[in-house]
Structures are given as C-alpha cells and as structure tokens.
Structure 1
Amino acid sequence: MECLKEPAWQSNRLFEETNWRMLQNERLCDVTFLVGSGKEEKIMAHRFILASRSPVFFTMFCGSLPETNKTVDVPDIEPAIFRDLLRFIYTEDCSINENNVMALLYCSKKYGLERLREACQKFLNTNLSSDNVCTILQHAIQFDEVHLENRCLTFGMENAEMVLKSDGLSTISKEVLKKIIESDELIVDELCVYNACKRWAIAQCNGKSDKHERSELAQRGKLGDLIYSVRFATMSFQTFAENVAIEDILTSEEKVFVFQTIAGIASKKTSFPFQAISKKRKFRTEIVEVQRFGPNYHQTWCYGGSPDVLNFKVSIPCKIVGVSLFAPYNSEDVLEGTMSLQNDTSILTSENNIKVVYEVSKYYGNVLFDKPVDIEPDTEYTIIALLRGASTYYGSDGKVKVVSGPLEVEFSNNVKSTNSTSQSQGQFHSFSFEIKKQH
C-alpha cells in the first residue's frame, strides 16, 4: 500500500501565512533586534520583508548608509509590542486593543506604517470613552495626531462632566488640562471645572508622604496660573461663596476680586490674570416647560392686589426663564401687575409691567424675565405675583413634584400667599427652565 505524503507546509498557503511561519520558526532571519528598555530581548526578523513594508526599514537596510550590524537596538519599544508590530508588517493583521493601541500608534509613526496608523486611529475613534479620552488626548498631542486630537477634544467637550470626573484626568499634563478647561465649548458648569482642577492637583501631590504637601496651599502650588482659566464669575454668588471662598485655593485678594466681579463692581485690583473670568461657555441647552396642572382649568379667579406666592426647588443646576400666568376668559379683558423671584436673602429678578391679555382658545400667557436667572439645586426659591384686573382661569389638583427629563421640580406652599394660590390650586400654570442638553 502506497503511503500518502503530507503536502508541504507552503502548499495552498497565502503569502503572508508562509512569511509569518518563517518568522515564527526563525528561518533565514538575517537581523536581530535587541528590544526593550529593561532586560533586552532578542527578536529575529528578515530585512527583505521589513524593507519591503516600511520606508524607515528600507532606508535603514538599503539607504546610502545601510545598517551593517546584525543587531539593532530598539530600547523605546517593549517586546510584546514589537512582536505585534512584526505581525502587522508580515501579515497586516494584529489584535489592536486598549492595552497596545497607543504603543502601536507610536510604532506606526516611528516606522512610517501608514496602514497601521489608520488602523490605530480607527480603533481609537470608535472606542473613545469618558475613562480613556484624557489619556488618548495626551498621546495624540504628543504624537502630533491632529485629527485624533480634535476628535478627543470634541468628545471631551460633549461629555465634559463625566470626563472631568474620570480617573484619566489625573494622568494628563497641565498643558493638556489647560487646553480642555479654556475651551468655550466645554459643556459643564464652572463648579465642575473647579473641582476637576482640584482633583488633578491632588493627584500631582499624592506622591508626597507629608500630608501638608497635599493641603489646599500645595494644590494651588501645583495649579499655579492654571487656576486663572476657571471662569469663577460665571458662578452664582452663592455657589462661589459655599464652594470656593471657604477654601484656600484662591488668595483672599483673589476672592474679593471675584466677588466684586460677580457683583458687577469694578475692582481697583486689576493685576490678577484671570482668563475670560466672566465669559459664559457655549452650553448646548434646551428649554423645559414644567406644568403644575393637568388639562382642565376653571374660571372666576379674582384679583384685588393681594399676592399669589409659591415656593419651588429644582434637582439640578439650571436657569429659570419665566413663568406662565392664567389669562382672562372674557374678550378685551387685561391682567396687569408685577412679579418677582426671591430666595431667602434677596430679590433675584423682577418684572414690573406684566400684561396678560385675553386670546381666543388660550388659557395662559407667558411672562419672561429680562435675563434667565441661575437656580441652584436643593435651594428654596419663591415666585411672587401681585396682580390686578379681570377674572381669569385657574388650575386645581396641582402636582407636588413634576419630572421632565433630568429636571425634577418640587412645589410647596408659602404663608405669604394671601390670594389663595397654593401647591394644589391657583396661579402659575407652568415654569420654563433652561437646562443643559442631554446627549
């Protein structure tokens, strides 16, 4: 009986498969790389294959001053990464993942491997997350990858709150952090920016054994002039007082300067190099209308100049744009008066020439403030309307809590409401809030 010969391993194989087998078995290899920064590891390869795939290797082995040594030092690439690099060179296939992508991107730049560079960029573009975007941005700037840098910055701007709270933030340089927080496109409130700067500074201090080296003064030392990129004057007076003024990140003189700027008072101290301290960031926002009542309204609500008053709280930082007051139900009737918004300590805004007129098939009219007013979560605010005029519609069975997307508004009674408006009935059909747009 005739024995059947096994086909040669070269038979019916693709060119890259046979090349890869030759490399794995170290057949006819004619160059040895000493790879790694620590204990060097010998990795063998074929000059012909390398030169045919990489312009850098071609110059190294075939240029006017070719490398004649049989060993080549590669101290800046670790052995496992160099093997991934060789696999791509020989087969144009390697497993790119979060652990090796930045190192392979570096290899692609070093050896002029455009297709590997494109593969790394594709992986990074499709696998950006709040946890890794800071690290990737740092490397993109380091490697002069402009497209990837812009992609990271766009992602970071749109997901700013999660990015600024991520562990990856502590790994970036001061220059990269500055690039992030100076952007007008950063979609986040300024307190989050301030807290991110503090977390970054604490991370820079964590190598110190002395607790004093992680104090607020030490944090300011790490931040230096970076703190001037925080737009403190876009915070509300209350937010700055409760979160920044009580700490020693800013000096006493800087705190006074910020308080005066928030209050709109020109300061004699002009030497602090705050960057765009009052400039609002270009938030992507949306208007949310919160209605207190259902679709059924009643007639005969009377006005004689007594105040209609209601308290409310919100769950997230936002701005109140205005409210809707019930309208007259008889033609040619007009409702006139004033309205104000207060907190425990002061009047935040007021409208002195309110006019709500009768309109066919319309139960209420909108009253907008001259400027939206910052509203802080878990703080009680009071809306007061002092109106005179015709009888109007009114609402009943009012809701204690109303949820609209991420915003929750809770209403409560105020003892100063002597015209019967309460949590359950009366005036203030709806409230309009400006909130950060969800992604």
Structure 2
Amino acid sequence: MECSKELAWQSNRLFEETNWRMLQDERLCDVTFLVGSGKEEKIMAHRFILASRSTVFFTMFCGSLPEINKTVDVPDIEPAIFRDLLRFIYTEDCSVNENNVMALLYCSKKYGLERLREACQKFLNTNISSDNVCTILQHANQFDEDELENRCLTFVTENAKTVLKSDGLSTISKEVLKKIIESDELYVDELFVYNACKKWAIAHCKSKSDTHEHSELEQRRELGDLIYSVRFATMSFQTFAENVAVENILTSEEKVFVFQNIAGIASKNTSSPFQVISKNRSYRTEIIEVQRFGPNYVKQWNYGGNPDVLNFKVSISCKIVGASLFAPYEEGILEGTISLQNDTSVLIAEKNVRIIYEVSKYYEIVLFDKPIDIEPEREYTIFALLRGASTLKGNDGKTKVVSGPLEVNFSNNVKSTNSTSPSQGQFHSFSFEIKKQL
C-alpha cells in the first residue's frame, strides 16, 4: 500500500513537480548549503539537478577540482532567497517580485542562470517607478547590468523631479549620483540638482554619525569633487546669489569663478573644474497652447486703468512661456504691463506690453523673458494693466482646458476689477513648455 501511494505522486505529476517534491521531502539529497550571513540555516538539495541546470554548479561538483564536502557555505544569500533560487532551478516557476528581484538578479549572475536573469530584467523593466529606480540603478551598476542601467538612467532623466525628491536618492553611491547629474538630458532646473546633492550629502553624513546637525562644510567634504558636476554657470545671477552664494558648500574662490561665468567674464583661472560642465542640459520639450475661448471673438473690450486678473492651476510640472492678449480691432495701440505671481512671491515683474492694430490679428502672444517653473495644484495669478485702443474679447470661456497630458483650471480673482473672469474677457491663451511625450 505504501509503495502504491509513492508511485501515485511520481506518475501523476509533471517532471518539474516531482523534482520539487523530492526537494521538499529531502529525498536522496546529497548536498547541504549553510545559508545566510550567520550560515546557520541548512538547506538540502541534489547535486545532479543543480549541475544539470547551472554551469557554475556543474563546475563546482563535476569540474577538475570538484567540491567533495557535503556542506557548502553560502553566506551572501539569505535563506528565503536561496529557496526562491532552488525553486527556479527545479521548476522554473519562481515568482519574481519587488521584494526579491534584486537578490535574485544577484543569484542569477552568481550561478550563471540566464533565464532567471531575463525574468528579473523583464520585471524590472516593467515595474520601475520613482520610488524604486534609485535602488534598481544602484544594483544595476553594481552587477554591470548595462542595459538595465541605461533603462534606469532614461527613467531618471524623464522623471527627474520626483526621483531626486525620493528617499531612494539617499541610498545610492557617489558614482551613481554622478552618472545621474552629469546627464545632458536631465529634465530639471540646476537649482533642483544642487539641492538634491545637498540632500544626498546630509543623508550620507548621518549614516556615519547621527549625533548632530551636519554643517555645510561637512556636506562639502562628503560631496567632494561631485559638486563640480552641478552646472552652476547655467543658473541665473539671482538664483545663484540667493541660493548658493549665501551658503558654504562652495569656497569663496569657486563662487567668484561661477559669478564671472554667469556674467560672461573670462576668468584668469583656466584650470577650474567648473569649466567642463558649463553647458545647458538639452531638455526634450514641447510647447502647448492652452486656449480659453473658441474662435468667435466679440468687439468692444475697454480699458480705463483697472486690472484684468485671472487665477489658474496646472495638473503637471511645467513651465509657462507666455500669455496671449487680445489685439485692437481697429486702428490704435494697446499698452501696459503684464505680471505673474503665486501666493508667496512675484515670478515675473511687470513686463512692458505694446500691441499695434493689424488686419486679421486677433491676439498677440507676450513671451516672458524666460520660462517660469509652474508646480501642479498650486495657484498662480496673472495680471494685465492695460490702456489704449479697445480690443476684442472672449466669451463662453472654459474653466478647465485639457491639452495632451496638461490640464489647466481657471478661477476668479477679486482683484480683476476690469471684469476678466474664467467665462469672459482678456487672456486668450497661455503657452506652456512641458516634457515631450516619448
């Protein structure tokens, strides 16, 4: 009776299932692995199965100097991961997930298991996120996984703001951080890169000693020459003065050199390491025009010295490039200023506007001196204070406009005493610069 029961499971299951059953029951196992950093957990297996599936195990057990001991130490793999590894070797039915993928990738490299490596890479390529990409990138660099490393770097450059804000940034090595911030295609302002480097430095200082706050000089020591990969010379004079020059991350001599570069003054110090990283990053962007009104415009919008004001919010990080104002509908000139602010500061001071009547010109775009960063779900306000010829106006305006990945919501502002609102008035359209969709 006992023999017939044994034969039942042997004859009614697939080959890999019977192999797995033999392993689980520890039948005829002839090698024991002492697994984990403490080498305390014993996991048994079959030399024949291991050697038939792995070139490394084949060399270990069948090579010119075969392993003759019945126990093999594996201190660099934890027991749960080693069991996942054996399951793959015996059945090729290993469940790869975010908790074991990096450890299994390591196992695949160690034991020459190409199909396990492919399974891990497939999982990583389809499950990279802003929260885990730094960890994956670090391991890809460590294991010389060039294809995966390039895939991670591409993800980082396309999602730079969220990645550089993530907790994972603090765990990567200086070598990997350097690869990130030296990319010409990193889609983020240079001040953001600088702040990310400081965040990384503070985290690494704390990992060595968390007994006190770490000074800017300590942060610089941790950063070392990595600081030269920040493209300070591409910042505006004001940005550098207000955010970098007031700190002690850079030396006094380095600050002077950057100021000279921003001002376009040649420095006598021709050997400065800053010189090799002064070029701008090549962002992949596109301009989206968000129109508030349809094509049917109405005459007679007058100006008596009162401002036209409108609030708006965007759904994704972007830059505002300019705004379009309606043009005069008969001979005349419209003059005044336009400005932009958020709830705490003025982003664009008053910019002079002058629009001249032209036949068939319904509106004119007013470009700002430079694109301005706009954060999602934060309220911004645009002001126009104009005098001169009467212009066209828009009616039946939209409170929400969706253009591709960008959604813009408009709302009233009580300071709009010239009657511009989401439904009527000035501001025909807005131009936004967004990251180009690949």
Query: Which TM bucket (shorter chain)?
Result: 0.7 to 0.9
| 1:142 correspondence with 2:147 | no
Check the 8 A contact 1:188/1:283 in 2, yes or no. no
1:7 Cα deviation after fit: 6.0
Q: Which residue of 1 aligns with 2:280?
A: 279
Distance verdict in 2 for CA 1:244–1:437, change over 3 Å = farther
Check the 8 A contact 2:324/2:364 in 1, yes or no. yes
In angstroms, what is the RMSD of aligned CA positions? 4.0
Instruction: Provide the rounded CA distance (Å) in 2 between the counterparts of 1:14 and 1:342.
Output: 70
Check the 8 A contact 1:356/1:365 in 2, yes or no. no
Match runs of 1:308-347 below 5 Å: 319-329=319-329, 333=331, 335=333
Instruction: Provide the rounded CA distance (Å) in 2 between the counterparts of 1:261 and 1:147.
Output: 37
1:314 Cα deviation after fit: 7.2
TM-score by structure 2 length? 0.79
Structure 1 stretch displaced more, 277-286 or 96-105: 277-286
What SS class does the counterpart of residue 357 from structure 1 fall into?
coil
What SS class does the counterpart of residue 11 from structure 2 fall into?
coil
1:139 Cα deviation after fit: 0.7
**Letter of the 2:37 counterpart:** S
Check the 8 A contact 1:325/1:356 in 2, yes or no. no
Can you list the C-alpha shifts for 1:140-197, whole angstroms capped at 9, x where unaligned?
1111111211221122222221111111111110010111111122222222222211
**Letter of the 1:211 counterpart:** H
Q: Which residue of 2 aligns with 1:47?
A: 47
Q: Which residue of 2 aligns with 1:243?
A: 243
Bigger Rg over Cα? 1
Can you list the C-alpha shifts for 1:91-130, whole angstroms capped at 9, x where unaligned?
1122322222111111111111111111111221222121
Structure 1 gap segments, 5+ residues each: none
Structure 2 gap segments, 5+ residues each: none
Match runs of 1:185-196 below 5 Å: 185-196=185-196
Q: Which residue of 2 aligns with 1:208?
A: 209
| 1:61 correspondence with 2:48 | no
**Letter of the 2:241 counterpart:** A
Distance verdict in 2 for CA 1:250–1:381, change over 3 Å = farther
What SS class does the counterpart of residue 13 from structure 1 fall into?
coil
Count of aligned pairs between the two proteins: 421
Match runs of 1:89-104 below 5 Å: 89-104=89-104
Check the 8 A contact 2:335/2:352 in 1, yes or no. no
Instruction: Provide the rounded CA distance (Å) in 1 between the counterparts of 2:308 and 2:373.
Output: 15
What SS class does the counterpart of residue 247 from structure 1 fall into?
coil
1:210 Cα deviation after fit: 4.0
**Letter of the 1:107 counterpart:** C
1:385 Cα deviation after fit: 6.4
Check the 8 A contact 1:51/1:57 in 2, yes or no. yes
| 1:24 correspondence with 2:16 | no
Structure 1 stretch displaced more, 281-290 or 194-203: 281-290
Instruction: Provide the rounded CA distance (Å) in 2 between the counterparts of 1:4 and 1:73.
Output: 36
1:203 Cα deviation after fit: 0.7
Can you list the C-alpha shifts for 1:229-252, whole angstroms capped at 9, x where unaligned?
122333344433333333222233
Check the 8 A contact 1:319/1:372 in 2, yes or no. no
Structure 1 stretch displaced more, 401-410 or 32-41: 401-410
Instruction: Provide the rounded CA distance (Å) in 2 between the counterparts of 1:312 and 1:239.
Output: 27
Can you list the C-alpha shifts for 1:292-351, whole angstroms capped at 9, x where unaligned?
x77764435679xx9897677876875553443433435xx5758797879979978768
| 1:299 correspondence with 2:302 | no
Check the 8 A contact 2:326/2:391 in 1, yes or no. yes
1:83 Cα deviation after fit: 1.8
Match runs of 1:67-146 below 5 Å: 67-146=67-146
What SS class does the counterpart of residue 27 from structure 1 fall into?
coil
